A and B are shown apart, each in its own frame.
Chain A
Protein backbone atom coordinates (compact mmCIF):
# COMPACT_ATOMS: atom_id res chain seq x y z
CA UNK A 1 0.00 0.00 0.00
CA UNK A 2 1.25 3.49 -0.84
CA UNK A 3 1.89 5.88 2.00
CA UNK A 4 1.04 9.47 1.18
CA UNK A 5 2.18 12.37 3.32
CA UNK A 6 -0.70 14.70 4.14
CA UNK A 7 0.70 18.22 4.65
CA UNK A 8 -2.15 19.04 7.06
CA UNK A 9 -1.94 15.87 9.17
CA UNK A 10 1.86 16.18 8.93
CA UNK A 11 2.44 12.47 8.56
CA UNK A 12 2.29 9.61 6.11
CA UNK A 13 -1.07 7.95 5.87
CA UNK A 14 -2.29 4.91 3.92
CA UNK A 15 -3.51 5.56 0.39
CA UNK A 16 -7.01 4.24 1.17
CA UNK A 17 -7.72 7.49 2.99
CA UNK A 18 -7.01 9.58 -0.10
CA UNK A 19 -8.70 10.38 -3.36
CA UNK A 20 -7.21 11.83 -6.51
CA UNK A 21 -8.74 15.12 -7.64
CA UNK A 22 -7.16 15.75 -11.04
CA UNK A 23 -4.34 17.95 -12.20
CA UNK A 24 -3.18 20.83 -10.00
CA UNK A 25 -2.37 24.46 -10.79
CA UNK A 26 -5.16 24.94 -13.30
CA UNK A 27 -6.32 28.50 -12.78
CA UNK A 28 -9.88 29.33 -13.62
CA UNK A 29 -10.01 32.29 -16.06
CA UNK A 30 -11.00 35.52 -14.32
CA UNK A 31 -13.38 36.47 -17.15
CA UNK A 32 -14.83 33.11 -18.05
CA UNK A 33 -17.77 34.55 -20.02
CA UNK A 34 -15.37 36.36 -22.33
CA UNK A 35 -13.27 33.27 -23.06
CA UNK A 36 -13.15 32.02 -26.61
CA UNK A 37 -14.36 28.46 -27.17
CA UNK A 38 -10.82 27.31 -27.87
CA UNK A 39 -9.45 28.84 -24.69
CA UNK A 40 -12.31 27.40 -22.67
CA UNK A 41 -11.69 23.97 -24.14
CA UNK A 42 -8.03 24.22 -23.16
CA UNK A 43 -8.88 25.26 -19.61
CA UNK A 44 -11.73 22.83 -19.11
CA UNK A 45 -10.81 19.64 -20.95
CA UNK A 46 -7.16 19.57 -21.94
CA UNK A 47 -4.77 18.10 -19.38
CA UNK A 48 -1.05 17.54 -19.70
CA UNK A 49 -1.06 13.76 -18.97
CA UNK A 50 2.74 13.52 -18.89
CA UNK A 51 4.87 10.43 -18.67
CA UNK A 52 6.94 11.25 -15.61
CA UNK A 53 6.45 13.94 -13.01
CA UNK A 54 2.90 15.25 -12.68
CA UNK A 55 1.43 17.87 -10.32
CA UNK A 56 -1.88 16.69 -8.96
CA UNK A 57 -4.55 17.64 -6.47
CA UNK A 58 -5.32 15.01 -3.89
CA UNK A 59 -7.85 14.99 -1.12
CA UNK A 60 -7.44 13.39 2.29
CA UNK A 61 -11.10 12.53 2.15
CA UNK A 62 -11.15 9.91 4.93
CA UNK A 63 -8.88 11.98 7.17
CA UNK A 64 -8.72 15.73 7.56
CA UNK A 65 -10.78 16.09 4.34
CA UNK A 66 -8.36 18.72 3.03
CA UNK A 67 -7.30 19.18 -0.60
CA UNK A 68 -3.57 19.43 -1.16
CA UNK A 69 -1.11 19.18 -4.01
CA UNK A 70 1.17 16.27 -4.71
CA UNK A 71 4.04 15.69 -7.10
CA UNK A 72 3.89 12.15 -8.41
CA UNK A 73 5.83 10.20 -10.97
CA UNK A 74 3.40 8.51 -13.33
CA UNK A 75 5.98 5.89 -14.34
CA UNK A 76 7.02 4.66 -10.89
CA UNK A 77 3.85 5.82 -9.08
CA UNK A 78 6.13 7.30 -6.42
CA UNK A 79 5.09 10.43 -4.58
CA UNK A 80 7.98 12.89 -4.85
CA UNK A 81 6.50 15.39 -2.38
CA UNK A 82 3.25 16.92 -1.20
CA UNK A 83 2.45 20.50 -0.25
CA UNK A 84 -0.55 22.52 0.91
CA UNK A 85 -3.21 23.78 -1.45
CA UNK A 86 -2.60 27.36 -2.59
CA UNK A 87 1.18 27.10 -2.36
CA UNK A 88 3.12 27.66 -5.57
CA UNK A 89 4.72 24.85 -7.54
CA UNK A 90 7.96 23.92 -5.80
CA UNK A 91 10.90 25.38 -7.69
CA UNK A 92 13.11 22.39 -6.99
CA UNK A 93 11.98 18.85 -6.33
CA UNK A 94 13.74 16.87 -3.60
CA UNK A 95 16.10 14.35 -5.10
CA UNK A 96 16.07 16.02 -8.54
CA UNK A 97 19.47 16.03 -10.24
CA UNK A 98 18.97 19.28 -12.16
Chain B
Protein backbone atom coordinates (compact mmCIF):
# COMPACT_ATOMS: atom_id res chain seq x y z
CA UNK B 1 0.00 0.00 0.00
CA UNK B 2 2.83 2.37 0.87
CA UNK B 3 4.39 1.75 -2.53
CA UNK B 4 1.23 2.73 -4.34
CA UNK B 5 1.19 6.04 -2.51
CA UNK B 6 4.54 7.17 -3.91
CA UNK B 7 3.62 6.34 -7.51
CA UNK B 8 2.48 8.83 -10.13
CA UNK B 9 -0.47 11.17 -9.86
CA UNK B 10 -2.50 9.08 -12.30
CA UNK B 11 -2.49 6.25 -9.77
CA UNK B 12 -3.54 8.62 -7.02
CA UNK B 13 -6.52 9.66 -9.08
CA UNK B 14 -7.63 6.02 -9.33
CA UNK B 15 -7.97 5.71 -5.56
CA UNK B 16 -10.42 8.58 -5.53
CA UNK B 17 -13.67 7.52 -3.91
CA UNK B 18 -16.23 6.40 -6.46
CA UNK B 19 -19.43 5.37 -4.75
CA UNK B 20 -21.35 2.50 -6.32
CA UNK B 21 -24.32 3.53 -8.47
CA UNK B 22 -23.86 7.19 -7.43
CA UNK B 23 -26.82 9.39 -8.16
CA UNK B 24 -29.06 6.62 -9.50
CA UNK B 25 -32.76 7.06 -8.83
CA UNK B 26 -35.98 5.47 -9.98
CA UNK B 27 -39.38 7.04 -9.56
CA UNK B 28 -42.62 5.13 -9.70
CA UNK B 29 -46.11 6.32 -8.78
CA UNK B 30 -46.16 6.21 -4.98
CA UNK B 31 -42.51 5.53 -4.30
CA UNK B 32 -39.04 6.82 -5.15
CA UNK B 33 -35.92 4.68 -4.88
CA UNK B 34 -32.61 6.51 -4.91
CA UNK B 35 -28.99 5.99 -3.97
CA UNK B 36 -28.05 8.22 -1.05
CA UNK B 37 -24.80 10.20 -0.99
CA UNK B 38 -21.78 8.58 0.71
CA UNK B 39 -21.58 8.75 4.50
CA UNK B 40 -19.14 7.77 7.20
CA UNK B 41 -19.97 4.46 8.84
CA UNK B 42 -18.47 2.24 11.48
CA UNK B 43 -19.27 -1.18 12.77
CA UNK B 44 -19.04 -0.98 16.55
CA UNK B 45 -18.84 -3.89 18.95
CA UNK B 46 -18.59 -3.34 22.67
CA UNK B 47 -19.56 -4.88 26.00
CA UNK B 48 -22.16 -3.21 28.17
CA UNK B 49 -19.52 -1.69 30.45
CA UNK B 50 -18.12 0.43 27.61
CA UNK B 51 -21.41 1.87 26.40
CA UNK B 52 -21.43 5.01 28.52
CA UNK B 53 -17.93 6.05 27.42
CA UNK B 54 -18.66 5.29 23.76
CA UNK B 55 -21.99 7.09 23.81
CA UNK B 56 -20.29 10.16 25.23
CA UNK B 57 -17.50 10.09 22.65
CA UNK B 58 -19.89 9.57 19.75
CA UNK B 59 -22.37 12.16 20.96
CA UNK B 60 -25.27 9.77 20.51
CA UNK B 61 -26.63 7.34 23.08
CA UNK B 62 -26.16 3.77 21.89
CA UNK B 63 -29.56 2.05 22.03
CA UNK B 64 -29.71 -1.17 24.04
CA UNK B 65 -33.16 -2.33 23.04
CA UNK B 66 -33.64 -4.68 20.07
CA UNK B 67 -34.56 -3.01 16.78
CA UNK B 68 -33.95 0.47 18.23
CA UNK B 69 -31.96 3.36 16.82
CA UNK B 70 -30.92 6.76 18.08
CA UNK B 71 -30.04 9.85 16.10
CA UNK B 72 -28.43 13.16 16.95
CA UNK B 73 -26.76 15.86 14.83
CA UNK B 74 -26.66 13.79 11.63
CA UNK B 75 -25.31 10.73 13.40
CA UNK B 76 -27.41 7.60 13.75
CA UNK B 77 -26.68 4.56 15.93
CA UNK B 78 -28.52 1.39 14.95
CA UNK B 79 -28.85 -1.61 17.26
CA UNK B 80 -27.87 -4.71 15.30
CA UNK B 81 -27.21 -7.19 18.09
CA UNK B 82 -26.74 -7.30 21.88
CA UNK B 83 -23.15 -6.02 21.49
CA UNK B 84 -23.15 -4.68 17.94
CA UNK B 85 -24.09 -1.30 16.46
CA UNK B 86 -23.91 0.37 13.09
CA UNK B 87 -23.02 4.06 13.32
CA UNK B 88 -23.83 6.23 10.31
CA UNK B 89 -22.57 9.80 10.16
CA UNK B 90 -24.09 11.94 7.44
CA UNK B 91 -22.65 15.20 8.76
CA UNK B 92 -19.15 14.52 7.42
CA UNK B 93 -17.51 13.87 10.79
CA UNK B 94 -15.50 10.74 11.42
CA UNK B 95 -16.98 8.46 14.13
CA UNK B 96 -13.89 6.26 13.92
CA UNK B 97 -11.74 9.12 15.20
CA UNK B 98 -14.20 9.73 18.04
CA UNK B 99 -14.04 6.07 19.09
CA UNK B 100 -10.24 6.07 18.91
CA UNK B 101 -10.15 8.37 21.95
CA UNK B 102 -12.12 5.92 24.07
CA UNK B 103 -9.99 3.71 26.30
CA UNK B 104 -12.86 1.41 27.30
CA UNK B 105 -12.88 -1.98 25.58
CA UNK B 106 -14.46 -1.84 22.13
CA UNK B 107 -13.90 -2.67 18.48
CA UNK B 108 -14.66 -0.02 15.87
CA UNK B 109 -14.17 -0.84 12.21
CA UNK B 110 -14.60 1.68 9.42
CA UNK B 111 -17.03 0.36 6.82
CA UNK B 112 -17.84 3.61 4.99
CA UNK B 113 -16.82 2.22 1.63
CA UNK B 114 -18.37 -1.19 2.19
CA UNK B 115 -21.94 0.02 2.53
CA UNK B 116 -24.25 1.74 0.11
CA UNK B 117 -27.42 3.43 1.35
CA UNK B 118 -30.61 3.44 -0.68
CA UNK B 119 -33.62 5.56 0.19
CA UNK B 120 -37.08 4.16 -0.43
CA UNK B 121 -39.66 6.88 0.13
CA UNK B 122 -43.31 7.36 -0.66
CA UNK B 123 -46.70 5.97 0.34
CA UNK B 124 -45.80 2.58 -1.21
CA UNK B 125 -42.37 2.36 0.47
CA UNK B 126 -43.31 -0.45 2.88
CA UNK B 127 -44.84 -2.49 0.05
CA UNK B 128 -41.70 -1.98 -2.02
CA UNK B 129 -39.35 -3.15 0.74
CA UNK B 130 -41.68 -6.01 1.63
CA UNK B 131 -41.36 -7.37 -1.89
CA UNK B 132 -38.04 -8.84 -0.83
CA UNK B 133 -38.00 -8.47 2.94
CA UNK B 134 -40.12 -10.90 5.00
CA UNK B 135 -40.36 -8.74 8.12
CA UNK B 136 -43.56 -7.18 9.39
CA UNK B 137 -43.22 -3.52 8.36
CA UNK B 138 -46.49 -2.25 9.79
CA UNK B 139 -46.08 0.84 11.95
CA UNK B 140 -46.97 -1.18 15.07
CA UNK B 141 -44.21 -3.75 14.53
CA UNK B 142 -41.67 -1.50 12.82
CA UNK B 143 -42.24 2.08 14.02
CA UNK B 144 -40.37 5.17 12.85
CA UNK B 145 -36.78 4.85 14.06
CA UNK B 146 -36.88 1.05 14.11
CA UNK B 147 -33.80 -0.58 12.64
CA UNK B 148 -32.92 -4.16 11.95
CA UNK B 149 -30.50 -6.28 10.05
CA UNK B 150 -32.57 -8.50 7.80
CA UNK B 151 -32.71 -9.95 4.35
CA UNK B 152 -33.89 -8.55 1.01
CA UNK B 153 -34.21 -11.21 -1.63
CA UNK B 154 -30.84 -12.92 -1.54
CA UNK B 155 -28.90 -10.05 0.00
CA UNK B 156 -28.42 -9.09 3.62
CA UNK B 157 -29.46 -5.53 4.38
CA UNK B 158 -29.82 -3.20 7.32
CA UNK B 159 -33.22 -1.58 7.29
CA UNK B 160 -34.00 1.71 9.04
CA UNK B 161 -37.38 3.39 9.05
CA UNK B 162 -36.72 7.12 8.80
CA UNK B 163 -40.37 8.18 8.53
CA UNK B 164 -43.78 6.56 8.37
CA UNK B 165 -43.41 6.30 4.61
CA UNK B 166 -39.62 6.25 4.19
CA UNK B 167 -36.95 3.61 4.66
CA UNK B 168 -33.19 3.59 4.41
CA UNK B 169 -31.75 0.34 3.07
CA UNK B 170 -28.07 -0.28 3.77
CA UNK B 171 -26.41 -3.01 1.78
CA UNK B 172 -22.93 -4.12 0.91
CA UNK B 173 -21.41 -2.36 -2.08
CA UNK B 174 -21.09 -5.59 -4.05
CA UNK B 175 -24.81 -6.29 -3.51
CA UNK B 176 -25.88 -2.74 -4.33
CA UNK B 177 -26.66 -3.40 -8.00
CA UNK B 178 -28.83 -6.38 -7.06
CA UNK B 179 -30.57 -4.56 -4.21
CA UNK B 180 -31.19 -1.40 -6.22
CA UNK B 181 -32.54 -3.33 -9.19
CA UNK B 182 -34.80 -5.44 -6.97
CA UNK B 183 -36.16 -2.33 -5.24
CA UNK B 184 -36.63 -0.53 -8.58
CA UNK B 185 -38.62 -3.44 -10.01
CA UNK B 186 -40.60 -3.68 -6.79
CA UNK B 187 -41.33 0.05 -6.91
CA UNK B 188 -42.91 -0.39 -10.31
CA UNK B 189 -44.98 -3.34 -9.09
CA UNK B 190 -45.98 -1.59 -5.84
CA UNK B 191 -47.80 1.10 -7.79
CA UNK B 192 -50.12 -1.46 -9.35
Residues of A with Cβ closer than 8 Å to B? 1, 8-11, 13-14, 16-17, 62-66
> In the complex the two chains form, what is the Cα distance from A78 to B185 in whole Å?
34
Q: Which of A13, A17, A64 contacts B81 (CB 8 A)?
A: A64
Residues of B at under 8 Å CB distance from A? Answer: 66-67, 80-82, 84, 134-135, 141, 148-151, 156
Given the known interface contacts A8-B66, A11-B66, A17-B151, the answer about A65 and B81 at a Cβ–Cβ threshold of 8 Å is yes
Complex contacts, A16 vs chain B, CB 8 Å: 134, 151
Give CA–CA (A51, B89) in the complex, Å: 51
B residues less than 8 Å from A11 (CB atoms): 66-67, 141
Contact indicator A63/B84 (Cβ below 8 Å) = no
Interchain CA distance A64-B149 in the complex, whole Å: 7
Please determine whether A66 and B134 come into contact, CB atoms closer than 8 angstroms.
no
Cα distance A8–B80 in the bound complex, in angstroms? 11
Q: In the complex, are the beta carbons of B66 and A13 less than 8 A apart?
A: no
B residues in contact with A13, CB < 8 Å: 135, 150
B143 to chain A, nearest CB (A): 13
A62 to B81, CA, bound (A): 11
Q: Are A63 and B149 in contact (CB under 8 A)?
A: yes
Contact partners of A14 in chain B: CB under 8 A: 134-135
